[in-house]
């Protein structure tokens, strides 16, 4: 067959379809979702001639393997990883021609966590509320990829970029998140606020698309009661009862009852998507 589709040969640990997400539906209880490393997803789309909002594949840690039913142009970016076509090395961070029925192998991340695979025409699964993104919290969008999944592709648009390799930022060796204090920083003791602003935390292995969990000193509350559920935004840093901050990412819940000590700048969150477990984290107050 020569139809426009991809066959998933190896799904990997967690590979999902992602685009720019579905913001604007929080009042319905629907998270925004979308690619955690938005700039990486936009770049690989640009490399293959897609619009920035076309749907791509987001892999986690160990990549995936795909077989196109027709000849396509592919670009892999985000976390650096080996790329092969029918066992032969191919470029990472550049457009690659993959013939029909050839095996594209996106290998394990050498650094970072999430790699992005763009295919000419984009992944054309059915949109839900204006987005093709998989949302792990609400279950909206296509399910995570499984071996044997067939993904439809759109029609190619403009020609792919004429580059050898496109520069991309390296995954962070230290994650620095600029934060705006509040709205519930008054729920914490002065000592806790000092600890939050001066002590180093580390990325926990229990982090996921919903939130980046941390390991480090617990933050002591000044108030012992419980909050009624409040609206949550991308980058909200919530402190659960164990006292370790959690940075909300794309699939975060739209409401929550734990106090939010600060909110991270959205521009700093793509780096959080690539921070491996154990990466040091510093929370830096805006303007300091």
Closest CA to 36 of 6, 57, 51: 57
pLDDT digits (tens, 9 = 90+) for 138-181: 999 999 999 999 999 999 988 888 888 888 889 999 999 999 99
Please write the tens of the pLDDT for every residue from 230-272: 999 999 999 999 999 999 999 999 999 999 999 999 999 999 9
Q: Which helix (H) or strand (E) holds 182?
A: none
How far apart CA 122 and CA 154 sit, in angstroms, is 5
Strand order in the sheet with 5-10: 88-90, 83-85, 104-106, 64-68, 5-10, 150-152
Contacts of 127 (CB under 8 A, 6+ apart): none
State the pLDDT at residue 288: 55
pLDDT of 111-144, one tens digit each? 999 999 999 999 999 999 999 999 999 999 999 9
Domains of the chain with CATH codes: 5-152 (no CATH), 175-285 (2.40.100.10)
pTM over 0.85: yes
């Amino acid at each position: 067959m020569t139809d426009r589709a991809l066959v998933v040969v190896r799904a990997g640990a967690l590979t999902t379809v992602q685009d720019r997400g579905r913001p604007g539906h929080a009042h319905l209880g629907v998270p925004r979702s979308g690619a955690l490393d938005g700039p990486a997803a936009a770049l690989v789309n640009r490399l293959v001639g897609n619009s920035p909002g076309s749907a791509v594949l987001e892999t986690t840690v160990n990549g995936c393997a795909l077989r196109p039913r027709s000849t396509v142009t592919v670009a892999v970016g985000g976390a650096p990883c080996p790329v092969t076509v029918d066992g032969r090395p191919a470029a990472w961070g550049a457009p690659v021609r993959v013939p029909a029925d050839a095996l594209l192998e996106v290998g394990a991340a050498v650094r970072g966590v999430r790699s992005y695979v763009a295919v000419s025409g984009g992944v054309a699964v059915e949109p839900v509320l204006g987005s093709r993104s998989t949302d792990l919290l609400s279950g909206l969008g296509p399910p995570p990829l499984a071996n044997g999944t067939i993904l439809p592709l759109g029609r190619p648009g403009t020609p792919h970029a004429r580059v050898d390799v496109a520069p991309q930022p390296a995954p962070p060796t230290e994650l620095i998140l600029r934060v705006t204090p509040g709205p519930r920083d008054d729920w914490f003791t002065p000592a806790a606020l000092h600890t939050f602003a001066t002590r180093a935390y580390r990325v926990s292995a229990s982090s996921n698309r919903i939130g980046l969990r941390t390991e480090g000193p617990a933050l002591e509350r000044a108030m012992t009661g419980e909050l009624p559920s409040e609206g949550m935004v991308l980058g909200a840093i919530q402190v659960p009862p164990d006292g370790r901050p959690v940075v909300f990412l794309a699939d975060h819940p739209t409401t929550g009852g734990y106090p939010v000590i600060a909110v991270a700048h959205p521009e700093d969150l793509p780096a959080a998507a690539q921070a491996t477990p154990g990466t040091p984290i510093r929370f830096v107050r805006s303007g300091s």
